[in-house]
Each structure stands twice: as C-alpha cells, then as structure tokens.
Chain A
Amino acid sequence: MQYDQNRRKPEKFLGVITAGSLAKGIQARIRTLTPLEKIQTGQFIAIECDGVRFFGLLTDVTLGATSDSVLLDPPYPDDSGSSLLREVLHGVYTYGDAHIQPSLALQNGEDQPRPVRSVPSHFAPVFIAEESDFQQVFGLENIAENGHKFAVGQPLDMDIDVCLDLERFVERSNGIFGKSGTGKSVLTRLILSGLVRANTCSNLVFDMHNEYGSVTKGEYANQQIKGLRDLFGSRVMVYAVRDRRPGDKSRVEQRATVADGDIVIGMNHIDVEDILLLRNELQLNATAAESAYILQNKYGDRWMETLLKMDGEALKEFCESNGANSNSITALKRKLGAIQRMPFVEENHKSLRVIDEMVLALAAGRHIIVQFGGSDDLLSYMLVANIITRSIHKKYKELTERYKRTQLPQDEPRRVMITIEEAHKFLTPEVAGQTIFGTIAREMRKYYVTLLVVDQRPSSIDSEVMSQIGTRIVALINDDRDIDAVFTGVSGSAGLKTVLASLDSRQQALLLGHASPMPVVIRTRPFDEAFYRAITSGQSSVPAFIRPVNPNGNDHAGSDTADERESFDDWAEKQLEKDKADLFG
C-alpha cells in the first residue's frame, strides 16, 4: 500500500510529520498554503507511510516562528506592504504545527487497522481523512441487515456515518457524560434504540426523569422526541413506580400512565445495603448503619418491619441486650419511616414476583423501562434501582453459574445492560465498594450484566469504576475535575482534553474506548423522524409479553405459597422458550 498520490485529494493534504512520540503524540508541520484558521481540532487524520497507514485525531494546532526577529518586529496591519509580508511569511518564517494523537495503524495487506505501536517516520505526508478512511476504520452501518454497526453520528466536517460496534459496546460497562442539556439522554435513547433494533442485548433502563418510555418534548421548537416504547412496541416493556393506592385525583392520573406492571417492594426485601446507599440522602451517620446491621443479624429480612414496630420500651430493651446505640437506633427508625411511607413499599410482601417477571422478560430478550413518574424523587429512584438491580444480579449469577456447569449454548444467559441516570449517586467512592452497581461495574462482563452510566458529574464517580468503563461518549464538560475523571485510565488524554473543550454545547460528543476503534468527534445523529423510519424499518411486530396470572386474581400483591412459586417457575421456563421464539424467530 504505497501512498498513492492519486488516491487523496490535494486539498486534503495537511503537512508532513516533523516530530513527536507515541506517548506524547506526533507533530506535523502544516503545509504552507492551508490557512490555519481553516484547520479545526477534533478532525480525523490519516498519515501515509511506506506500507503503513496511520489514523489519528488532530488534537491541537500551535503557532510557531523560525526566527525571533519576525516576532520582535512583526508586520503590523498599518505597515506598508504588511499584507504581502504576512502572506509570504506564513508557512516559512511563521507556521502552524498540527498535533496528532495516533491511534490506529493499517499494515500493508491487512484490512483491519490495529492499535498503533509505532510512529510514522519523518516527513510522512499527513492528510485530513476522507470518506474511505472513515469506512475503513468505522465500517458501514448494518443493523438493518442484522449486523452490529450502528451509526451514532457524523464527523464535524463530513457527511458520512461514524459507527459504533454494538457487540463490543455491550461487552463492557459504558458511560455517557456531559453537562446538563448537552444531549446525554437523547444520545442514550439513540444508542438504546440501536441496541434494541440490533438485538444485541436486553436493556433495563432506570428512567428517573420519565423520558425513555414515551414521547417527550424536546428543547427545539415543536420537537417531539419519541420514546422507546413508541418505536419498538411490545419489545419494550414499561414498569411504573407509582402510587397504586386509591386516592385523590393526581394519583388517579398517575395510574393512567401506560405500564405493563407496577413495581411493589416489600419491606422484607429492603436490605441494609439499600439503606447504606441512601445514607447521604437520609443523612444517616455511620453508627446508625452499624445498628442496622445489628438489627438485620438478629431479625433477618424482617429487620425493618420489626424496628418500625418497636415502641420506646422495646427499643430500649433491644439496645441494652444487643449493645446498640439507642440514639442512632432512634434516628434510624425515624429515617426509615420515610421509606415506609413510600407508596410502592408494602409491609410484608413475600415474593418479588414483579421483579422475577422482569428478569424473565429480560432473559427472554425484552427490554424494560422502569419509570419513576417524573417526580424526581431521588430517594425512591435509588432505592428501587438498587433493589431491582440486586435481584437481577443475583439471578444472573445463578444463570451464569448454571451455564458454566452445563456449557449448553441454550443456557448462555442473555446479556443485560442496565442504564442509570444520575449514576454518580450510586457510584461515589464511599458507596461504590459496597453497592451492587459498584460490583457490576467492577466485575464487568463476568455475569452478563453491564452498566450504561449516564452522568453529568463524573468526578463524583469512584475512580476504580471509571477506569473499568469500556466505551465513553463525552459531550461538553467544563469542570476540570469532571474532565480529568472522564479520562481516567485513557492514554494520551492531554490532547483529547483540548478536543473535548472545543465541542459545541449540544449534540456533539467525543467517542472513545472499547466500541470505537479510535477516538473521534461526532455530531450526534439527530433523533428525528428520519431516524425513527430508519431504525424501525423492516422490523416485525412482536406479541405482548404474557405475564403469569396469579390464581388469587391479584397480580402482584399478596403472598405466594411454595406451590405457586413452583408453578411460576414452570410456567416461566415455558414462557421463556415461547418468547424467545417470538423474538428471534
């Protein structure tokens, strides 16, 4: 693959390599005639060497001068002849250096570029990448043909798709970061649409702001952003966390939201771990947490119920006989009252049937959105997300272990990706070590469950978790600590930081990591009618997920007998087969 003069357009020529290193990035002297103001950072670059083509990202342009005398006596605009002088000085006495972060190298005769391990030699010609380079590196979108390349956007200055490899994407936990309003949620919806369409994994979305399920208003004039349920019908199931108790009008309205089911949580399913996660929100101190453990040791899963029922006398007695601090136990009791009052919390709800059902649906290949009614109630959001995720993780651990034993292909669990907004709440350094989300982020793909964290404050996320993140999609961020956090564990990040700082404040993002062959800046694909058509075309409709009917007629509440439990499992097995057949033909 000699550099072919005819292959590249002369106007794409940028300059020649003059200096640099793999660690710090390479430098190219910009060709005389290209006006510096036309050269934007963030562009995709190709470098042609003997037998190797390098690909990289233009991270910076610096101004230089060969002689100090020019800078000591520069041509001022009002000097005679200064315009001619300025023009002819440029490129010789004064020049621009392009700083390039190389990422991939394509060896002669191979068709897949590989991570770069060498540097181009001196004076190798440098070009602004053309369409064919993008195709070579990112491939062409093929999800309509059952592939896994999904176009997430276009480069800043070209109308060609930049594709994400969805199969690689779901192999790790991922992050979408950016300031508020930069388009994180729309971008998440976009990627989830790709995942649903390509059937790469099952998705569970904790939808704090009530935006993923059904249509929402966008910030552009008359913009209607469709939800995943609107686009994919019964492939996507919606579960609501809402007040089911009969009551005033607003509650009745809430009940009218479309939902495949309601989340109900029994107090017996609330673990000390769940409470610990809420420590900041509930303003519990460390001793209170300790006391919770004492209670749990003694009363098992009825610890909360028992505590809430204790009167002053009983409390005192408990403290005395168990060596607990009575102040902190009292505080704990008071704070837990807030949880008890949550509408979806029931006193003693034996089975988590609704959650079992969700696990089943996910395993069968459906996608689930857990809606929180848009009330921005962080406490219920965190509590529910944690409990559900804990159950799923437990279930998946079993499934994975079974698969390990049997090694039967049909036993391989269906991969699940859990999307959480406000992810830092679950992943701060204080709690990430103990909570289920921290565990999932660290265990990575081992149990077929990964995370998609969506967050505006990455600096609040535990750095160990950040370093495990496979693919990062980063919109504009201004805070230095957040920027540093986003690049935890990324080599050559200095250059990428300048690129990040130059993004538009909406609908632009830097894509890097596992699922993107190399870092690249994109204009995010518009989430609009054209996209709806493209993503749903050729998609067959799927019958609704049939839920088990409880013999006593009450869907979720009430208690299960051991018998019912067994029949549910039986039924589940059959339903799973049927549903898989529905979905995958």
Chain B
Amino acid sequence: MTDSFLSTQNPFITENEMAPSGSNQAELPVGEVVETSLTGFMAHTYKLDDPPPFGGLVRVKDRSGTCEIYGAVYHIATGGIDPGRRAATRGSGQPVTNDEQVYIDNPQLSRLLKTEFGVLVLGCCKTSAGSRQAFSYVFPDYPPPLHYSVTLCSDQTLIDFTQDKSYLRAILESSQAPAEELVAALLRRATRARGAAGKAFLVDSLRYLARNLKQDYDRFKIIVEKCEGV
C-alpha cells in the first residue's frame, strides 16, 4: 500500500481529466464498507486519497451474492484514523515547489490518515450466473454488509444504470446528500460517458427532473445551471 500512495490523485482532478468516454472500462474495487444502512453507507478507501469521484456510481454485493446494490458517491473526506485527533502541520513553512514532497518525507502518514467516502443508495440489481438483470430503482432488501468491497462502475454500467431516470428522484429526496450538486455531478458523468449521444440524454434527464420539480422552479434552475457546458 505504501509504495503506491504517491500515485494518489485528487478526485476532482480525476473527473476533469477523464476522456469523454471509454476511459473507465474496468470495474475495480476502490474501498470497503465501514458503516452501513439501507439508505446509504460509508466506506474507507484502500489507498489514501484514492476515493471514487464525487457523483461516481459504485456497487456492492449483498450477502447472498445475488444482488448488487448501487449508489452514488456524495461525500469524500480524509482525516486522522483516530476520530479525536486532527492532522498537524508537517511542512517547514518555506515556499514549496511540490506539495506532494510532504508525503515522501513522512511515509507513516498513509497509516495515520484515512480517506472515507459516503454513498447514497439508489437502486439494486439481481444477478444470476454473473450476468445482470434489469436495474430496479428501489432499496435493496438488506443493506450492504460491513467490510464488503465497493467497486467503481465502468462507463458502460453508468450508461446502463442511468438509462432509466428514476434514480434521480431518490437523490432529490435524500436528506444527507447535497442533492443539487450530486444530481448535477452524476448527470455530467453520465452525459460525458455517452459521448455524442450525451446531449440528448442530458436534455431528457433534465426534463424528467423538471417534471419532478414542477413546484420548485428555482431549485430546478440551479441544477440546470450546474449541468451547463458539460
């Protein structure tokens, strides 16, 4: 783990540098469930500062192994392992040319710090013999089990999952997530993943949202503005 922490990238940079499509083909585990509930769960990353991106679609298997639980990343934080203790300054205060140098100078940091991320559950999907059936945009029967691995979905899965727009309503209704930001982030990702077909998808999705936000034009307008210029 230590030897690869240098490759850690800022999640927000990841999002902006991603190529329009096809860059996220493999589905790799990115963390482990550390706190769980039916509506959402918290996970720790395997590598420090290597969480799935905000608005990224992730999945966890349930205990029976026949159901995958899907959710969107709505929270990412890095802090001390010990909840009572904050990180203290490590640098010298002199002008620095490379902020990463501090991790090289203090290799123990990767063991003292952890990165956690929160996932909002949006739906689930039965699997049989390793292949997925249709997504259903309801809560799973059981929450994801603790210590199960969390996998970041490929672009193709993201495209499939967002084909039906029902997941958007779950986000709008959630109390823990910053709903407008999360909707916009997810839509931006799903739009980019579609390449040329993205614009039509975005318009369709926003219309779906509009239908659900008929009484709240101001909120809807905020989301549209955040989706502009993907």
Contact = CB atoms under 8 A, between A and B. Distances in A.
Q: Do A and B bind each other?
A: yes
Interface stretch (B116-124, B144-152, B155-163, B207-215): B207-215
Interface in B215-230: 215, 217-218, 220-221, 224-225, 227-229
B210 A93 contact: yes
Interface of A is mostly: loop
A88 B210 contact: yes
A93 B221 CA distance: 11
A90 to B, nearest CB: 8
Interface stretch (A79-87, A204-212, A379-387): A79-87
B214 A92 contact: yes
B228 to A, nearest CB: 4
Given A87-B203, A88-B210, A91-B207, A70 B217 contact: yes
Contacts of B220: 93
Contacts of B211: 92
A67 interface: yes
Given A85-B221, A91-B207, A80 B215 contact: no
A436 B103 CA distance: 110
Contacts of A80: 225, 228
Contacts of B229: 81
Interface residues of B, number: 17
Contacts of A92: 207, 210-211, 214
A93 B214 contact: yes
A85, A88, A89: most-surrounded residue (chain B CB, <10 A): A88
Given A32-B207, A92-B207, A92-B210, A84 B217 contact: no
Given A80-B228, A81-B224, A88 B203 contact: yes
A275 B210 CA distance: 73
B218 to A, nearest CB: 7
A66 interface: yes
Interface residues of A, number: 16
A89 B228 CA distance: 14
Interface in A46-105: 66-67, 69-70, 73, 80-81, 84-85, 87-89, 91-93
Contacts, number: 41
B171 interface: no
B206 interface: yes
Interface in A1-51: 32
Nearest to A72: B217
B228 A84 contact: yes
Contacts of A91: 207
Nearest to B228: A81
A149 to B, nearest CB: 45
Contacts of A69: 217-218
A93 to B, nearest CB: 6
B214 A66 contact: yes
B211 to A, nearest CB: 5
A66 B227 CA distance: 22
A364 B225 CA distance: 79
B98 to A, nearest CB: 36
A85 B211 CA distance: 14
Nearest to B230: A84
A481 to B, nearest CB: 44
Contacts of B221: 73, 85
B208 to A, nearest CB: 9
Interface in B122-179: none
A66 B203 CA distance: 19
Contacts of B203: 84, 87-88
Contacts of A85: 221, 224-225
A256 to B, nearest CB: 72
Nearest to A70: B217
Interface string B195-212: 000000011001100110
Given A84-B203, A88-B203, A88-B210, A67 B215 contact: yes
A77 to B, nearest CB: 14
A88 B224 contact: yes
Contacts of B224: 81, 84-85, 88
A66 B211 CA distance: 10
Nearest to B225: A81
A81 B227 CA distance: 9
Contacts of A81: 224-225, 228-229
Contacts of B228: 80-81, 84
Given A69-B217, A70-B217, A92-B207, 9 more contacts: A32-B207, A73-B217, A80-B225, A84-B202, A84-B224, A88-B210, A88-B224, A89-B210, A93-B214
> What 6 pairs between A and B have smallest CB-CB spacing?
A81-B228, A92-B210, A88-B206, A69-B217, A81-B225, A85-B224
20 contacts: A66-B214, A67-B214, A67-B217, A69-B218, A73-B221, A80-B225, A81-B224, A81-B228, A81-B229, A84-B227, A84-B228, A85-B225, A88-B206, A89-B210, A92-B207, A92-B211, A92-B214, A93-B210, A93-B214, A93-B217
Interface of B: 202-203, 206-207, 210-211, 214-215, 217-218, 220-221, 224-225, 227-229
